[in-house]
Structure 1
Amino acid sequence: MTTIESQTTSHLLDQHILADFIQHAGEIEHPREMIIDVLRAIQLHHGWVPDDGVELTAAILGLTPVEVEEIATFYDKIFRRPVGRFVIHLCDSVCCWTRGADEIAAHLQKTLNIEFGQTTADGLFTLLPSCCLGCCGIAPAVMIKQQFYGPLTPEKVDELIATLRQEGSA
């Protein structure tokens, strides 16, 4: 594995975490299993995974950038372009849609003044559909920063957005 320069990677990953990943990758039989872990760590530190994050992941794990890119673009929770501070994943499973997710989707789009895949002008919110969040018991639901919210109504959405806006301005 090539030596990874700390000055070129510090904007992507904390150097202690980088060292831990490098050590762990050298100790396991199939470092490819760590792709998602490394990409998520880069995303947590940087906000999203730029091309040099894919290249860093490949260097850490001894893979080609294409092998990492195949995984990075498959998962909808890995962001390959800048996103807002709060990414709202709206569940669009059958269960959520039969319980009013279409109304929640329309309300979110109107309230945030964006369409799916867009980010608000202030950079706070990105709205994305998600195939299934696995939280049918609280449908309709969204996930923001690994936390689930539901069952949602337009009023609960307004409260949630207000709370997040306040957190975002702090």
Structure 2
Amino acid sequence: MRDVSLGMPQLPAPDFPAEVRGRLEADAQEVIARYPDSRSALLPLLHLVQSEEGHVTRTGVRFCAEVLGLTTAEVTAVSTFYTMYRRKPSGDYQVGVCTNTLCAVMGGDAIFDALKEHLDVGNDETTADGKVTLEHIECNAACDFAPVVMVNWEFFDNQTVASAKRLVDDLRAGEGPTIEPTRGAPLCTYQETARILAGFPDERPGAVAATGGAGHASLVGLRLARGEAAPGRVVAPRAAPAGEPKDTPGGQAPPTHPSSHDAPQQTSASDPDHPAGPTAEEGE
């Protein structure tokens, strides 16, 4: 095999030790059995090898390729596309600071800059003790709780520079963190998180109970799907012409409703002054 970019020969990726290989193969077969096409198991298998080594190594790529019958190029293409797959050694705790628009203006940028100085690392770098990897991340759909910090994909809401510093100090201080996420399951290491993402049971004590129940909006949607609640209606504005119905069956706006032009119509109907002519096939 030759590294084209450098023009230098590249040694084949080493294999896992026999004991590790046997254990991973058993896990891999359990994952593959969940899919009608084995190729579909690639994403969870990448999490599986990441749970073994802390990042996706050449050995992990080789393993995935062999058990799925893919080329290493195909596996590498996927593993380098998704940011949840680490490509180099990282810390036990992946600390991500949201620096997207709302979090940034609410203090996310200040938190990220303060943590870089406090930890003496740059973006996507790991502390010397191997505990924390810091990175800025994009929106995690938690804008109501900005600014948000995530540790191994668990949420820490409404953070400040001071609380974020306490958080990373806690992560580095002992055998395990004492500050728990704002919501969701208790923290575990990045490698343990990767195994859960591969589809294996979350064995943390109280993890399921800690996640809590679904929120009000989700439960309303579930009741609607089950037919247990009446759907909402589209209601005409108060200024609707006299005698016009306030609502119509199926939630459609009345023909004279101010927004009735938004409904799908034939081109000629939507623009009577420029009706659509026949298509080429119709004219032949």
SS at match of 2:125: coil
* Distance apart, 1:18 and its partner CA: 2.6
2:49 aligns with 42
Larger radius of gyration: 2
Q: What amino acid maps onto 2:55 in structure 1?
A: W
* Distance apart, 1:14 and its partner CA: 7.2
1:154 aligns with 161
4+ residue runs over 4 A deviation: none
Q: What amino acid maps onto 1:165 in structure 2?
A: R
* Distance apart, 1:23 and its partner CA: 5.0
Q: What amino acid maps onto 1:166 in structure 2?
A: A
User: Is the Cα–Cα contact under 8 Å of residues 14 and 45 in structure 1 kept in the other structure?
Assistant: no
1:1-170 alignment, distance < 5 Å: 7-8=17-18, 10=20, 15=23, 17-22=24-29, 24-25=31-32, 28-168=35-175
CA deviation string 1:39-82 (max 9, x = no partner) = 11211222111111011111121111111111111111100110
Aligned residues: 163
Distance 1:58 1:101 in 2: 39
Distance 1:167 1:39, change over 3 A: farther
Q: What amino acid maps onto 2:17 in structure 1?
A: Q
Distance 1:14 1:167 in 2: 33
CA deviation string 1:83-123 (max 9, x = no partner) = 11211122222221121111011111111011102111121
Q: Percent identity?
A: 29
User: Is the Cα–Cα contact under 8 Å of residues 108 and 157 in structure 1 kept in the other structure?
Assistant: yes
SS at match of 2:158: coil
Distance 1:102 1:14, change over 3 A: farther
* Distance apart, 1:131 and its partner CA: 2.1
Distance 1:167 1:127 in 2: 18
SS at match of 2:76: helix
User: Is the Cα–Cα contact under 8 Å of residues 31 and 45 in structure 2 kept in the other structure?
Assistant: no
Q: TM-score, normalised by structure 1?
A: 0.84
Note the residue ranges of structure 1 that are not aligned, 5 or more in a row. none
CA RMSD of aligned residues (A): 2.4
Q: What amino acid maps onto 2:25 in structure 1?
A: L
Note the residue ranges of structure 2 that are not aligned, 5 or more in a row. 1-14, 178-284
SS at match of 2:121: coil
Distance 1:146 1:14 in 2: 29
User: Is the Cα–Cα contact under 8 Å of residues 22 and 61 in structure 1 kept in the other structure?
Assistant: no
